[in-house]
Amino acid sequence: MTALTTLLTDLQDGILTITLNRPDRLNAWTGTMQLELRDVVIAAGNNADVRCIVVTGAGRGFCAGADMNTLQGIQEGEARAESASDTIDKSAFPNAPGPDITEQYAGRFSYMYACPKPIIAAINGPCAGIGLAFALYADLRFAAEDAKFTTAFAQRGLIAEHGMSWILPRLVGEPNALDILMTARVFLGPEAEEMGLVNKALPQDDLMGHVTEVATHLAKNVSPRSIAVMKRQVRAAYTQSFDEALAIADAEMKASFETFDFKEGVASFVERRPAAFKGE
């Protein structure tokens, strides 16, 4: 992988922290950031040393939305940069367990759903537009209480991009989804928690400590294989009947009985010791 220009990465104790690194622009989104982030997450998803991924922002922002230079270029008639790499196929995560969801989810952030590792968004500041769209694809979201959220699209003459019209109602319900999409109003972390947009809002000084605690638990105390399968089960179920979801669960449960992690999970419980899961 070539040197990163818009991101910082740090791997410690199985937790890969990815920091959006354009603090002078509140980490505004660019095409380069989009491609670098995708490549880093896919590499992490295939790296056995990575058990959990955390994404946050440098400085006082998470991601303030699309860089205005990009939006101005589109306004002036420049072609919008869409990449063939916006969508993924099975080859992105060839060894990931669980049901395949590549046919159900296409688009710019489909790799987030397909990645077998849990992804946590640590929203430390302003989170707007495409920055919010990206955060919605994370598995868990924690925010600073003073973090400002806005969909922003309606105030720019745009629409609900990147599947937000599908994701938001499933997370916060239709009334809340239509409210924050149509008004493009600004709201803070506690309201984001109340409506279910984030798992929890915390004081700014407590945010990363809490995220690290959750990430450490995911990295050390639960089976990576179980997480990967359950993550895909949940996303696959959005477009399945109950019978289809049940059939997949039955097949995946049978497969799990043959794994190292199942045997280790039972043995560690019986022997009253911490489990040493391998993700196998």
For the chain, which residues make up each domain, given as ranges?
7-220, 224-270
Please give the pLDDT value at position 82: 45
Q: Is the pLDDT of residue 30 over 70?
A: yes
> Order of strands across the sheet with 127-128?
127-128, 148-150, 187-188
Is residue 76 predicted with pLDDT exceeding 50? no
Mean pLDDT for all residues in the chain:
92
Q: Which fold has domain 7-220?
A: 2-enoyl-CoA Hydratase; Chain A, domain 1 (3.90.226)
Q: What's the rounded Cα separation, in Å, for the pair 239 and 100?
A: 13
Half-sphere exposure of 201 (CA within 13 A, CB side): 19
Confidence of residue 216 (pLDDT cuts 50, 70, 90): very high
- The secondary structure of 88-144 as a DSSP string is --GGGSTT--S---TTT--STTHHHHH-SS-EEEEE-S-EETHHHHHHHTSSEEEEE
Find the helix or strand (DSSP H, E) in which 268 lies: helix 260-270
Q: Give the pLDDT of residue 39.
A: 95
Give me the mean pLDDT over the 81-87 stretch. 51
Find where tokens 């049901």 sit: 99
Looking at residues 149-158, what average pLDDT do you find? 93
Q: With 50 as the cut, is the pLDDT of residue 137 above it?
A: yes
In this predicted structure, what is the pLDDT of residue 2?
A: 77
CA distances, 103 to each of 11, 48, 201, 270 (Å): 31, 25, 34, 41
Identify the residue whose tokens are 């745009």: 158
How many residues belong to the chain? Answer: 280
pLDDT exceeds cutoff 90 at 86: no
Cβ neighbours, 10 Å, residue 83: 11
pTM metric for this prediction? 0.93
For residue 83, pLDDT over 80 is answered with: no
Neighbours of 146 (CB within 10 A): 15
